[in-house]
Amino acid sequence: MKYQRKNGSLFNSPSATAAAFVHLQDSNCLNYLHSLLERFGNTVPTAYPLDIYVSLSMVDNLERLGIDRHFKNEIRILLDRIYICWLHMEEEIFSDMATCALAFRILRMHGYDIPADALAVFAGENFFETPGGCLKDLCSTLEFYRASHILISPDEQILERQHLWSSNFLKQCLSKCLTATDVFDGRIIQEVDYALKFPFYANLERLENKRTLEHYNIDNLRILKSSYRSSNIENKDLLDLAVEDFNLCQSIHQKELQQLERWVIENRLDKLKFARQKLTYCYFSAAAATLYFPELSDARMSWAKNGVLTTVVDDFFHIGGSGEELVNLIELVEKWDGVSTTDFCSVHVEIIFSAIKNTTNEIGEKAFSRIGHHVTSHIIEIWLKLLNSMMKEAEWTHNKVVPTPEEYMAYAYVSFALGPIVLPALYLVGPDIPEEVVRDTEYHNLFKVMSTCGRLLNDIQGFKRESKEGKLNAVSLLMIPSNGVVSEEEAVERISGMIEINRRELLRLVLQSKDSVVPRPCKDLFWKMSKVVHLFYRNNDGFTSLQEMVSAVNAVIEEPLSIPPSDVVSAA
């Protein structure tokens, strides 16, 4: 029999195997059925074995609920065991598309060496035409679609093809306006719609956690070859824990936001009328996407404060500051110590420099108490690189210089201003980062590809606005030398390709373990910030817009969980 597995079953289905035995009297089918009766008695499961699928689904569920950090050791032990099964090409993984795709995604995202060609057997539309295919299995197709986003090199054409046909299939299902015949089907349609709207690289963890909690179903069925329910995948105890955890984190975030509002006033940043007031957005990017654990308060506050300061400095260089003031600010940061009131050429410079210095020294002290060595000089260096890059761009604008795209990007990825936000926070997330790691090319490359993605996304969405203001960016610099040969659409397409290349490289750097010197918890921050900027600039300039991200911000920081009455738990 073509679809008989090594254990004697057809698709790990007792009913299908029993039917085959009745018709064919196959001894392997009989041995499989006898093994079930010995293990389970007269009541056998609808599918067996499902150990790997259930284990992977449990890990996936914990991550979606936002409580996986409480089970780190257990998850690592479990994934080590599943990785051994992967290396041994266990039939339980590779004979089922949903299990294989789920294993691929989770193992690769946890840093295991998983080649893309392992999915080749499932790639292509012809697979849908086989009895083992998934013409009617949206769950399997959705899982395959999610796996197709985990690209880490330019030569993973298998994943590219997989992404194309799985996304097309899912879109076709939605376009037909499938009518849900039961709760399960309705939920899957919602999952498909959400996955297509918010791809993996633009989906923030905390938004995903809240959505999962509010749509959690402790009676959920998983449809494989037949209906299947496991109490280990979705249950009330996990929901209780996750709700309690979310509410605790949200209450901490609300208090921290109040502290930050006082910090803005204490540092007189509210007096800078030229500057965009983006405190809540800056804190949202820390609390929602990167550092929502209660114990990471110092890193969260560093991230948010420097997010506010980089926004102020960006507006100062583009709107509020004169040439004299810009030079003065750079000279003060270079001098740092021994600055007196007579060194300031304006009140604006005094406010900005004082806020940068006070915040940097505060972060330096907290980092020293954690890791035992001084980092303040490195944070000053980060600020100087940013200020000098912004100054170069200001000089280009003032002197009407048109740089080449290469000259522009050499400064533009730094002037996107993620350096002071992300890099100091790395000292506050746990693992020590010694000087040799900071100077390593891996550390620099992580920062560069993350910032390049952000800069290019910003330039695409800000092209029309900046063109009206007489500013150049990556889009216009591709169009200018061509004398009209390269259209805006063609320039945007080229830049989108560059973003894709850099995003893959960033994920590769984050996931690689061999010869890596930057600790994984630190590398994760680069990827999470990339997800922030992909969400912010997904449809518009979400950072500059007054309304674009309001609902997302409120959902994480302000609005309480909305759990259906039937699922209300004691922790709520």
Q: DSSP secondary structure string, 182-232?
A: SHHHHHHHHHHHHHHHS-GGG--HHHHHHHHHHT--TT--EESSSEE--TT
Can you give the pLDDT at residue 449?
A: 98
Identify the CA nearest to 96 among candidates 126, 121, 71.
121
| List of residues 6+ apart from 434 with CB closer than 8 A | 373
Q: 297: domain range?
A: 275-324+354-542
Long-range CB pairs of 224-230 (<8 Å, 24+ gap) are 224/47, 224/50, 224/53, 224/96, 224/98, 224/139, 225/11, 225/12, 225/13, 225/16, 225/46, 225/47, 226/13, 226/15, 226/46, 226/47, 227/46, 228/45, 228/46, 228/47, 228/50, 230/50, 230/54, 230/57
Can you give the pLDDT at residue 553?
A: 86
User: What confidence tier does 324 reach under pLDDT thresholds 50, 70, 90?
Assistant: very high
Q: Does the pLDDT of residue 426 top 90, yes or no? A: yes
> Are 94 and 214 found together in one domain?
yes
Between 229 and 26, the more confident residue is 26
Chain position carrying tokens 């105890």: 237
Which tens digit of pLDDT belongs to each residue from 11-51? 667 778 788 778 788 887 787 788 878 777 776 776 666 68
Which tens digit of pLDDT belongs to each residue from 510-524? 999 999 999 999 999
Any idea which of 199-208, 217-226, 305-314, 556-565 has the lowest mean pLDDT? Answer: 217-226
Can you give the pLDDT at residue 308?
A: 96
- CATH number of domain containing 317: 1.10.600.10
User: What confidence tier does 181 reach under pLDDT thresholds 50, 70, 90?
Assistant: very low
> Are 183 and 316 found together in one domain?
no
> Are 162 and 289 found together in one domain?
no
- The number of domains in the chain is 2
Can you give the pLDDT at residue 554?
A: 87
Between 27 and 77, the more confident residue is 77
- CATH number of domain containing 143: 1.50.10.130
User: Which one-letter amino acid corresponds to residue 491?
Assistant: A
Chain position carrying tokens 């929901």: 239
Q: Is residue 349 part of a domain?
A: no
Identify the CA nearest to 140 among candidates 56, 45, 224.
224
> Are 178 and 224 found together in one domain?
yes
Q: Is residue 3 part of a domain?
A: no
Q: Is residue 186 part of a domain?
A: yes
> Are 234 and 371 found together in one domain?
no
Q: Is residue 205 part of a domain?
A: yes
Can you give the pLDDT at residue 121?
A: 77
Can you give the pLDDT at residue 392?
A: 97
> Are 110 and 165 found together in one domain?
yes
Assigned token pair, 73: 């050791």
Identify the CA nearest to 120 among candidates 177, 160, 63, 178.
160
Can you give the pLDDT at residue 451?
A: 98
Residue ending a domain, choose from 239, 266, 294: 239
> Are 283 and 202 found together in one domain?
no
Can you give the pLDDT at residue 359?
A: 98
Can you give the pLDDT at residue 325?
A: 97
Can you give the pLDDT at residue 545?
A: 58
> Are 175 and 130 found together in one domain?
yes
Between 362 and 571, the more confident residue is 362
> Are 179 and 320 found together in one domain?
no
> Are 64 and 179 found together in one domain?
yes
Q: Is residue 252 part of a domain?
A: no
> Are 527 and 409 found together in one domain?
yes
Most confident range, picked from 80-94, 154-168, 517-531: 517-531
Can you give the pLDDT at residue 185?
A: 60
Between 486 and 66, the more confident residue is 66
Which tens digit of pLDDT belongs to each residue from 429-444? 988 999 999 999 999 9
Identify the CA nearest to 25 among candidates 6, 1, 57, 5.
1
**Average confidence (pLDDT) over 220-225:** 48
DSSP string, 513-572: -TT--S-HHHHHHHHHHHHHHHHHTSSS-TTT-SSTTHHHHHHHHTSPP---GGG--TT-
Share of the chain above pLDDT 70, in %: 86
> Are 487 and 365 found together in one domain?
yes
Residue ending a domain, choose from 195, 218, 239: 239
Can you give the pLDDT at residue 24?
A: 80
Q: Is residue 34 part of a domain?
A: no
**Average confidence (pLDDT) over 138-165:** 90
Can you give the pLDDT at residue 80?
A: 96
Can you give the pLDDT at residue 562?
A: 86
Q: Is residue 42 part of a domain?
A: no
Identify the CA nearest to 51 among candidates 10, 82, 17.
82
**Average confidence (pLDDT) over 376-388:** 98
Share of the chain above pLDDT 90, in %: 59
Q: Does the pLDDT of residue 126 top 80, yes or no? A: no
Which tens digit of pLDDT belongs to each residue from 456-492? 999 999 998 888 888 889 999 999 876 668 899 999 9
Q: What is the residue-averaged pLDDT of the chain? A: 87
